[in-house]
């Protein structure tokens, strides 16, 4: 049984997963409708749809794994589930970070303004850049999968007949912690790509503003607005992804610490902030998604006000009859 604090935190984590699913489903749905209307899937539409879909899968894998850890007490039944969850989590985690890095590259090549020959070469060969990113994704996945396979095999051999928690001070536990951390390095490349593109966008914005001030003082053009929106998306991703790693470390420590259910759920809440919150930041930063969301909210308000009027009219009619 869970304590009151653990139950409340688990409710918060589940609510995060539901809210994140709604936000990411909205992003994917709008882009799919746009693809059906134009009969063509744009590059940004593909990236946003893939990002939203991978994050939905990632959130519910994490949520399901949390419920299993909290309510499953038998290692034998948990071992097979843990193996399946681990493979799915590694795949979806890599996909999510890869789509986020691809989005940062798209913003960089589309918005940034550099006269350097390397940037011009990259901009002309944007398709080749994304093909290279696909190759990097598979290389990263192939590096991570053997590590997770080894880690799962070690868990099966060492902890077959005990609960899923292990003691932190044992050599096996330290090796398990190292394995957990090591196979995360495959996705750090994509994270560094996002950081670098964000820094380059900041430099591009600074140079652009300097040129604009030399021409027209106080004038803020569309290029500046595009820079600001892209930087907000990328900076928020960087901050949330750092929190995502902090949450993962908390989960790992809880996995090694007996009776650490409260710490486990707290780590899950921090982890889910990344796929949940960033979807709404994308909606606010994207003009098309923002317009559709505002129209949807207006329709919901009209429906609510219409239902309220119908209810009042029904009540007046009842009073008249009485």
Q: What is the mean pLDDT of the chain?
A: 78
Per-residue pLDDT reduced to its tens digit, 88-106? 888 898 899 999 999 999 9
Q: Average pLDDT of 36-59?
A: 89
Query: Which pLDDT band, with edges at 50, 70 and 90, does 289 fall under?
Result: confident
Identify the CA nearest to 160 among candidates 76, 259, 73, 70. 76
Is residue 113 within 8 A of residue 202, CB to CB? The reply is no
Per-residue pLDDT reduced to its tens digit, 227-244? 788 888 888 889 998 899
Q: Average pLDDT of 233-260?
A: 81
Residue 313 is predicted with a pLDDT of 53
> What's the predicted TM-score (pTM) here?
0.83
CA distance 227 to 114: 13
Q: What is the largest CA-CA distance in the chain?
A: 83
Is residue 98 within 8 A of residue 133, CB to CB? The reply is yes
Domains of the chain: total: 1
How many CB atoms neighbour CB 273 within 10 A? 18
CATH number at residue 243: 1.20.1070.10
Q: Higher-confidence residue: 174 or 150?
A: 150
**What residues contact 46, with CB distance under 8 A and at least 6 apart?**
none
CA distance 1 to 7: 9
Per-residue pLDDT reduced to its tens digit, 103-149? 999 988 888 888 778 888 888 888 888 888 888 888 888 877 777 77
Query: Which pLDDT band, with edges at 50, 70 and 90, does 73 fall under?
Result: low
Q: For residue 310, tell me if it sits in a domain.
A: no
Q: Give the 3-state secondary structure of the chain.
A: CCCHHHHHHHHHHHHHHHHHHHHHHHHHHHHHHHHHHHCCCCHHHHHHHHHHHHHHHHHHHHHHHHHHHHHCCCHHHHHHHHHHHHHHHHHHHHHHHHHHHHHHHHHHHHHCCCCCHHHHHHHHCHHHHHHHHHHHHHHHHHHHHHHHHHHHHHHHHHCCCCCCCCCCCCHHHHHHHHHHHHCCHHHHHHHHHHHHHHHHHHHHHHHHHHHHHHHCCCCCCHHHHHHHHHHHHHHHHHHHHHHHHHHHHHHHHHHHCCCCHHHHHHHHHHHHHHHHHHHHHHHHHCHHHHHHHHHHHHHHHHHHHHHHHHHHHHHHHHHHHC
Residue 314 is predicted with a pLDDT of 43
Residue 169 is predicted with a pLDDT of 45
Residue 3 has pLDDT above 70, yes or no: yes
Is residue 248 within 8 A of residue 97, CB to CB? The reply is no
Residue 271 is predicted with a pLDDT of 92
Q: Average pLDDT of 23-39?
A: 89
Q: For residue 92, tell me if it sits in a domain.
A: yes
Domain of 251, in residue numbers:
4-293
Q: Which of 56-65, 259-268, 276-285 has the lowest mean pLDDT?
A: 259-268
Residue 48 is predicted with a pLDDT of 92
Q: Higher-confidence residue: 305 or 3?
A: 3
Could you give the C-alpha distances from 37 to 26, 30, 40, 67, in angstroms and in order? 16, 10, 8, 40
């Amino acid at each position: 049984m869970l304590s009151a604090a653990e139950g409340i935190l688990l409710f918060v984590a589940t609510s995060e997963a539901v809210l994140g699913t709604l936000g990411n489903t909205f992003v994917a749905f709008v882009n799919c409708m746009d693809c059906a209307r134009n009969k063509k899937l744009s590059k940004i539409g593909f990236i946003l749809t893939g990002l939203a879909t991978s994050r939905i899968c990632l959130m519910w894998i994490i949520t399901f794994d949390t419920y299993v850890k909290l309510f499953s007490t038998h290692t034998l039944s948990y071992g097979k589930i843990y193996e399946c969850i681990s493979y799915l989590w590694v795949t979806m985690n890599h996909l999510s970070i890869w789509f986020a890095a691809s989005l940062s590259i798209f913003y960089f090549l589309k918005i940034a303004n550099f006269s350097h020959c390397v940037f011009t070469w990259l901009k002309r060969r944007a398709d080749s850049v994304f093909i290279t990113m696909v190759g990097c994704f598979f290389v990263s996945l192939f590096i991570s999968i053997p590590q997770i396979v080894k880690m799962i095999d070690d868990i099966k051999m060492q902890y077959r007949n005990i609960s899923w928690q292990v003691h932190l001070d044992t050599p096996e536990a330290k090796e398990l912690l190292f394995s957990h951390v090591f196979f995360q390095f495959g996705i750090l490349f994509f994270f560094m790509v996002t950081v670098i593109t964000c820094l380059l966008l900041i430099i591009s914005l600074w140079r652009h503003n300097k040129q604009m001030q030399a021409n027209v003082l106080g004038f803020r053009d569309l290029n500046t607005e595009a820079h600001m929106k892209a930087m907000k998306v990328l900076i928020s991703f960087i901050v949330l992804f750092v929190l995502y790693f902090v949450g993962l470390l908390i989960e790992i420590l809880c996995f090694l610490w007996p009776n650490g259910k409260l710490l486990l759920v707290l780590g899950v809440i921090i982890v889910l902030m990344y796929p949940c919150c960033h979807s709404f930041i994308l909606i606010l930063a994207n003009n098309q998604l923002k317009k559709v969301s505002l129209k949807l909210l207006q329709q919901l308000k009209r429906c609510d006000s219409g239902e309220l009027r119908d209810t009042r009219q029904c009540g007046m009619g009842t009073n008249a009859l009485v």
